[in-house]
Structure 1
Amino acid sequence: MKLFLADISKIDLEYAQLLNKERRERVERYRLVDDKKRCILAGLMTRRFLGNAEILKNEYGKPFLSDGRFFNISHSGNYVLFALGKSEIGCDIEKFHYVTAVRTGKTVFNDDEMNLLLSSADRLGTFFNLWTKKESLLKCMGEGFHRSAKSVDVCSDVFEEKGKSFFMKTWNFSDYTVSVCSEENDFPKLIEFIGTEELLFQ
């Protein structure tokens, strides 16, 4: 498994010309500059790490590759996260910001997760850890929020269902929380930061 993180701060809107027609059209649909930059950066990372591999989508819209590899992308704030593995994978990054942790948590967390949140000395930090784990798990399972968020439990780092095990790992850096979920428990120790220059040339 490989995890890559890149910053939008050095992304120029002109870099969209390096991307395929579908991605360029997607960039154009965004109104805010930072949204355009995140879309361009995701496109550059896809081009760099997937090459010309055919990208397909499952019934819930989750993309996967025809060559047997799996990938997932998430973005928040200044960063785009790219996860690449040999088994199903899901990832989520969230910039730390104020939310009403308990009120919001009640809409997505089950009873055990709410108990963990309520007993935590750092409710906001615990909220984002649980939220990103849940998002990455649902994405890894291929259903996203088409499935009830309360139907999966992320109190531990392993969720089991129908004979399958899904493993989760969380990183916290600066004011961001990152969680990744995979069917294989082979997480790297560190997330690799990659510069814009490395993405501009294949």
Structure 2
Amino acid sequence: MGEIEIKSVESLNWIFYDMPTLKIDGVHIYRISLVEEAHRIREFQALLSLDEQIQANRYLKKQDQDRFTISKAALRIILSRYMDIAPKALLFDVDTGKKPFVKSNRTFFFNISHSSDWALIAVSNMEVGIDIEFVKPDFVASDIVQEYFSQDEISYLNSQHTATAFFKLWTRKEAFLKATGQGIGDHLKFTPSLTGVHQLNADLYGYQHNWKVLGFMLNSDYACAVATASDLIFFLEYWM
């Protein structure tokens, strides 16, 4: 039976590094402003595959189409730097757990999440999952907590009475399930999210090794979390 260690960090030091080198046992997290990059939308559209362009056009609002396009293009640009290949030349597929991968290179792991005006992309040499959620001030958590949270988590949320507390726990659950490739709908209620060390049921998650989940706030409006296998040293770097 494996373990999951959940921590949070209060302040981040985002640094810029234009020629990334993936350190051993490291996770590189990129933040992308979907507002500041909107002026490059035509450039980004040209990088997408036909399937990705079709996906973008399924969104009814142009703003949502652009956010999707920027996120996917940013992923291609970032991965291309690691793999020394043109962004448009990258070919993606999904595994049995619906986790995307680059067909020509299975040594890199990555995950992407976007919400409202921001996207996060994580790149690693180990399994990784990332999630970002815009904290809706008027969000009513009581409508869904019974279905997706344990009794201890519900007690914690009841003591906090804030939307921020809800999304902090939610992103931790999502990041972990994305890292394991099980999908958001699988075992959400049984996925730990409170700070501390928790035992994992191998029958549910299928993984025997340990995991770490780090929760953080991008700013006061966005709750985030990253999850990765932790049987080796856990390392994070942040880029602007």
TM-score scaled by length of structure 1: 0.85
CA-based RMSD of the aligned residues comes to 2.0
- CA gap 1:175/1:87 in 2 versus in 1, 3 angstroms: same
Task: Give the helix-richer structure, 1 or 2.
Answer: 1
Structure-2 residue corresponding to 1:95 = 134
Alpha-carbon distance in structure 2 between the residues aligned to 1:146 and 1:130: 15
1:128 to 167, 171, 180: 167
Amino acid at match of 2:239: E
Alpha-carbon distance in structure 1 between the residues aligned to 2:68 and 2:198: 31
Structure-1 residue corresponding to 2:32 = 6
- CA gap 1:84/1:157 in 2 versus in 1, 3 angstroms: farther
Higher RCO, Cα 8 Å, sep 6+: 2
Query: Does structure 1 conserve the Cα–Cα contact (< 8 Å) formed by 2:110 and 2:129?
Result: yes
Alpha-carbon distance in structure 2 between the residues aligned to 1:88 and 1:175: 27
Structure-2 residue corresponding to 1:43 = 72
Query: Does structure 2 conserve the Cα–Cα contact (< 8 Å) formed by 1:133 and 1:168?
Result: yes
Question: Which segment drifts farther, 153-162 or 64-73?
Answer: 153-162
Query: Does structure 1 conserve the Cα–Cα contact (< 8 Å) formed by 2:135 and 2:222?
Result: yes
2:120 to 81, 99, 105: 81
Ranges in structure 2 where 5+ consecutive residues have no aligned partner: 1-26, 203-207
Deviation, structure 1 residue 107: 2.1
Secondary structure of residue in 2 paired with 1:59: coil
Query: Does structure 2 conserve the Cα–Cα contact (< 8 Å) formed by 1:19 and 1:43?
Result: yes
Amino acid at match of 1:32: K
Ranges in structure 1 where 5+ consecutive residues have no aligned partner: 194-202
Deviation, structure 1 residue 187: 4.1
- CA gap 1:76/1:160 in 2 versus in 1, 3 angstroms: same
- CA gap 1:77/1:187 in 2 versus in 1, 3 angstroms: farther
Percentage of matched positions with identical amino acids = 26
Residue-by-residue CA offset, 1:84-119 (whole Å, 9 max, x unaligned): 111111111011102112332222111121122122
- CA gap 1:157/1:5 in 2 versus in 1, 3 angstroms: farther
Deviation, structure 1 residue 159: 4.7
1:147 matches 2:193: no
Query: Does structure 2 conserve the Cα–Cα contact (< 8 Å) formed by 1:5 and 1:82?
Result: yes
TM-score scaled by length of structure 2: 0.72
